Structure 1
């Protein structure tokens, strides 16, 4: 199953990257089943460091949730890899900030987490350090 999840996540990220590059997309999210937890983080942010283990755990624990990071400082390449290693980030970091495409303003407070439904809608913007339970409370909340 881990190999399948890795393959699925790779396909999901490739599709998300295409969306971020400006390709047309319908109102459905990447696969119509997966929640995206998009977390803004920076190495200098103490609360970000606090929540990363919970985000790593969430990314491993549910097949219907994928955690994606956004490095607030816009780091790329070796600098980004060094920060990810230092903080223990195990989830993928997006190359581009998705806020505008999601109809959101760039966060001014860190950490900030966007919860994006399988239909591609931002259903909640959480500020401050989160736990697996606080994120799942949003994802598992009845809608209607």
Structure 2
């Protein structure tokens, strides 16, 4: 009886731990993304590509936005539209001067994001994982900050 209870407890603990947080893969540097960096906080998720002129102009604004949002429970994350991985993703991120976190694994499924055919596109997602805004085209740090402030009320 005791062995059976211990086995049930072990299985239950394993299932509970497995359910803690989502797997967001790694960033552009190959570092694992901790689930608490995306779960239970607001997120600004921007899709970019090397060949996208407006994306190149927007990236310094997103770098600035990330610095301005530090300590405010809002993260800035990039996703390469072309699905670059490993060294290619790292090289592209470096070449474009990206300092915010770039997710190697597209989080579209986790947050039910539609596939956009236009770039750049930026999604603002609340702490519950709900898309609150879709911003098409080149954004500024000030514009995204104002939108976040409006949405957070």
TM-score between both structures, scaled by the size of structure 2: 0.71
The Cα of 1:142 is off from its aligned counterpart by 5.2
Alignment of 1:54-93 (within 5 A): 54-62=61-69, 63-64=71-72, 65-93=74-102
Aligned ranges 1:5-84 → 2 under 5 Å: 15-16=21-22, 18=23, 30-31=39-40, 34-62=41-69, 63-64=71-72, 65-84=74-93
Is the 2:89–2:104 contact (alpha carbons within 8 Å) kept by the matching residues of 1?
no
Any unmatched runs of 5+ in structure 2? 1-20, 26-37
Name which of 112, 119, 123 aligns with 2:128: 119
Where do 5+ consecutive residues of structure 1 fail to align? 1-14, 21-28
**Separation of aligned partners in 1, 2:152 and 2:144:** 15
Deviation, 1:76, is: 0.9
In terms of Rg, which structure is larger?
A: 2
Q: Which moved more, 1:133-142 or 1:69-78?
A: 133-142
Q: Please report how far the alpha carbon of residue 19 of structure 1 lies from its aligned counterpart in structure 2 after TM superposition.
A: 5.9
Spell out, residue by residue over 1:77-124, the C-alpha distance to the aligned partner (whole angstroms, 9 max, x if none).
111111111100001111221223212211111000010112221100
Alpha-carbon distance between aligned partners in 2 of 1:60 and 1:121, rounded to the nearest angstrom: 23
Residue-pair matches, total: 120
Instruction: Give 2:140's aligned residue.
Output: 131
TM-score by length of 1: 0.75
For the residues of structure 2 that align with 1:83 and 1:142, how far apart are their CA atoms?
Answer: 32
SS in 1 for 2:79: strand
Q: Aligned equivalents of 1:131 and 1:143: distance in 2?
A: 18
Could you tell me which of 92, 104, 124 is aligned with 1:95? 104
* Matched position secondary structure for 1:141: helix
CA RMSD of aligned residues (A): 2.1
Question: Mean Cα displacement is larger for which, 44-53 or 114-123?
Answer: 114-123
